[in-house]
C-alpha cells in the first residue's frame, strides 16, 4: 500500500525546482489544466532522481481559499492513484485554468489522465 501514498517524497517543495521546470520544462494544456514537466534523468544538478513528483499551483482567480484547497485536494488524490502508471523520474507542475472546478474526484481524475496522456507521460 505504500506505493499508493502521497508523502513528502512525492511533492515538489523547492523554489529552485519550480523555476527549473518553468524554464526548461515542456508544456501541455487541455481545456481545464496546464502541465509543465521534465525528466529528472536529463538534469544532473538534481540530487533525487527516483520516483515521480508533483507540484500544484492554484491561483486566487480559481476562488476563495476553501475552493482552492478542494481543487488541490482532488488533483492530489487523482495523482496519487495515477502515479504508478507514470514514467519514472518525471517532475510535474500542474495548475488548473481559471474556471476549472471539478465537481468530484472522478472529474479531476479524468482531466488529469487526459493531460498526462497528451504529454506522453503514461507507461
Neighbours of 117 (CB within 10 A): 12
**1 has pLDDT over 80:** no
d(CA 79, CA 67): 18
* For range 72-95, the mean pLDDT: 92
Give residue-wise pLDDT tens across range 5-59.
Answer: 677 888 998 899 999 999 999 999 999 999 999 998 888 888 777 789 999 999 9
Query: How far is CA 75 from its chain centroid?
Result: 8
**4 has pLDDT over 70:** no
Pick from 73, 123, 79, 94: nearest CA to 28: 94
d(CA 20, CA 123): 24
CA distances from 13 to 9, 96, 104, 114, 116 (A): 9, 18, 26, 25, 21
The CATH number of the domain where 103 resides is what? 3.30.230.10
What's the pTM?
A: 0.89
Domain interval for residue 102:
2-119
Total structural domains in the chain? 1
> Between 121 and 7, whose confidence is greater?
121
Amino acid at each position: 500500500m505504500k506505493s499508493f501514498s502521497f508523502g513528502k517524497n512525492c511533492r515538489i517543495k523547492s523554489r529552485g525546482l519550480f523555476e527549473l521546470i518553468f524554464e526548461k520544462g515542456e508544456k501541455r494544456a487541455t481545456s481545464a489544466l496546464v502541465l509543465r514537466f521534465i525528466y529528472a534523468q536529463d538534469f544532473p544538478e538534481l540530487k533525487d532522481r527516483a520516483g515521480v513528483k508533483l507540484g500544484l499551483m492554484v491561483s486566487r482567480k480559481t476562488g476563495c481559499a476553501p475552493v482552492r484547497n478542494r481543487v488541490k485536494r482532488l488533483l492530489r488524490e487523482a495523482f496519487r492513484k495515477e502515479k504508478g502508471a507514470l514514467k519514472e523520474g518525471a517532475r510535474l507542475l500542474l495548475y488548473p485554468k481559471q474556471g476549472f472546478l471539478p465537481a468530484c474526484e472522478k472529474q479531476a481524475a479524468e482531466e488529469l489522465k487526459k493531460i498526462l496522456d497528451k504529454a506522453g507521460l503514461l507507461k
